[in-house]
Structure 1
Amino acid sequence: MNYYYVLLFVVHTQWVIGFLNFWHRGEGRRVRIRVLPWHVFLGLYTYALAIATAETGLLEKVTFLQTMRNVSKHSTESMMVNGLGLVLALLSAFVILAAVSPKYQTIQTKHLYSDTTSFSS
């Protein structure tokens, strides 16, 4: 079985569940509170995989530059690719730190949605 179809199915399933959750607000708050840790974990996991893919691509690029074209380890191109890799790694570390830092997490005690809507002032 092709993994592309499994990924496509998961993405569409996530979209449908999100769409239905947006329109049906009855149990939404309790479900959102239960799903939030998994949502954060999967989001950060996907972000980390994307960063790992980018870093691997940079490593592959500099490896091919050094083997195929005989570029030295201390050339301008090698320094540029290595610098880009370091900046990408540091930026991703700060993004992940900000996402899991309790300083930036707020606990909301108000109800976001209500079954009855009152427009009186």
Structure 2
Amino acid sequence: MGFVSFWHKGEVRISRMRVLPWHVFLGLYTYGLAIITAETGILEKLTFLQTNGVVLKRCSEAMIVNGLGLWLAMLCGVVILTAVSPKHYQSIPTTKDVYSDSKCLTS
């Protein structure tokens, strides 16, 4: 759907602007699921290593893994905040805004 609406030459700018919030939502949703999967994998690996006695609960390796998990969560927050910040959104243009008398885009 994203390929068709954003790359098809016949699509009008208004319809692409209407699809943009859904495109952003689905992209951020997929990104969030990928981050959750990575966090779960990090936690699972550390838990298995601690259960088998390979890594102690308060050793430097455990602190590095915990730091990696926190860094990944902070990065996710920054990416999502940047993606949804108001300066990236514009209001949906009307037909008058899209096509002027000279048939040029005004935005």
TM-score under structure 1 normalisation?
A: 0.67
CA distance in 2: counterparts of 1:107 and 1:88, whole angstroms: 30
Q: 1:76: Cα distance to partner?
A: 1.3
Post-superposition CA distance 1:89-120 (Å, at most 9, x none): 00110110111111x31538775xxxx79xxx
User: What runs of 5+ residues in structure 2 fail to find an aligned partner?
Assistant: none
SS class of match (2:57): coil
Tell me, yes or no, if structure 1 residue 87 matches structure 2 residue 71. Answer: yes
Following superposition of structure 1 onto structure 2, how do residues 13-92 of structure 1 map, counting pairs within 5 Å? Answer: 15=3, 17=4, 22-25=7-10, 27-92=11-76
For residues 33 and 57 of structure 2, the distance between their equivalents in structure 1, rounded to whole angstroms, comes to 27
| Conservation of the 8 A alpha-carbon contact between 2:42 and 2:69 | yes
**Structure 2 counterpart SS, 1:71:** coil
Rounded to whole Å, the distance in 1 between the matches of 2:63 and 2:22 is: 38
CA RMSD of aligned residues (A): 2.5
The Cα of 1:33 is off from its aligned counterpart by 1.2
Cα distance in 2 between the residues matched to 1:87 and 1:70: 24
Residue 78 and residue 56 in structure 1: after superposition, are their counterparts in 2 closer, same or farther (change >3 A)? same
Name the TM-score, length of structure 2 as normaliser: 0.75
The structure with higher relative contact order (CA 8 Å, sep 6+) is 2
Q: Which runs of 5+ in 1 are unaligned?
A: 1-12
Find runs of 4+ consecutive structure 1 residues off by over 2 angstroms: 21-25, 106-111
Provide the residue aligned with 2:83 in structure 1.
Answer: 99
Total equivalences in the alignment: 97
